[in-house]
Amino acid sequence: MNPLTNVKNIKKLSEAELKLGIAEKNSWHNMYKDSAWIFIGGLNFELCEGDIICVFSQYGEVVNINLIRDKKTGKSKGYCFLCYEDQRSTNLAVDNLNGIKLTGRIIRVDHVADYKPPKDDPHIDEEIRHVRKEGCAPPQLIQNIKKEKEDGSRRRDRDSDERSKEREERRLKEKARRHEDHSHRKKHNRRSRSRSKSPRRSEKYTKHKHN
């Protein structure tokens, strides 16, 4: 079956159950209740295990991952098998991540009934060994992710502060300009009144002199 057709069929199943309000025990997901493994296909070939974990760990702790690579070149073949600590996380991942676009490619996420993970070989890196042994991502990867989020948050805060500062500066300049205009008009009005009063005082003085 065409991979995209499979993606659409899985989405239709999930959407239909959601509309009908089908209970979990009667859900099609329940067929895979004994497996915490999922299949992920259509991946960008540049993605590594850590990248995939970053995306899928939002629905539960990842305890194992097997990104299929070419034995000769070591390059990704674009699909993998991932295991969650809690089987229920597989339902969330399938419902929410199947059919999404990840780094420009639509991915397929589906349950796996029977999957036997390969035994560790001496060529796998420390990151994968840690995931398979301890679950989720290694501490350094988690720290890097947190650092990226914190840096992004700081940049947004800094941008927000700068925009607030600019708005305040514009407000003060506008206030100063209005004050200057008001002072100028007030001064102009005083001069106008002063000139208008002068002839009357002169006329009054002349009349008084003649009398």
- What's 48-92 look like in SS3? CHHHHHHHHHHHCCEEEEEEEECCCCCCEEEEEEEEECCCHHHHH
User: What tokens does 187 get?
Assistant: 């001064």
Please tell me whether residues 144 and 112 are part of one structural domain. no
How many domains, in total, are found in the chain? 2
Residue identified by tokens 């995939």 is 52
Please tell me whether residues 7 and 62 are part of one structural domain. yes
Please tell me whether residues 68 and 150 are part of one structural domain. no
Question: At 165, is the secondary structure helix, strand, or coil?
Answer: helix
- Residue 146 one-letter amino acid: K
Please tell me whether residues 128 and 145 are part of one structural domain. no
DSSP 172-193: HHHHHHHHHHHHHHHHHHHHHH
Please tell me whether residues 108 and 160 are part of one structural domain. no
Residue 13 lies in a domain: yes
CATH number at residue 91: 3.30.70.330
Query: In terms of residue numbers, what domain contains 144?
Result: 140-184
Last residue of a domain, one of 138, 170, 194: 138
Provide Rg for the chain, Cα atoms: 36
Residue 206 lies in a domain: no
pLDDT truncated to tens, each residue of the chain (211 aa)? 556 666 666 666 666 655 655 556 656 677 888 889 999 999 999 999 989 999 999 999 998 899 999 989 989 999 999 999 999 899 999 989 999 999 999 999 999 988 888 776 655 666 666 666 655 544 444 455 456 656 666 776 777 778 778 888 888 888 888 877 767 676 666 666 666 555 555 555 555 555 5
Predicted TM-score (pTM) of the model is 0.54
Please tell me whether residues 118 and 24 are part of one structural domain. yes
- Quick: pLDDT tens for 74-116: 899 999 999 999 998 999 999 899 999 999 999 999 999 888 8
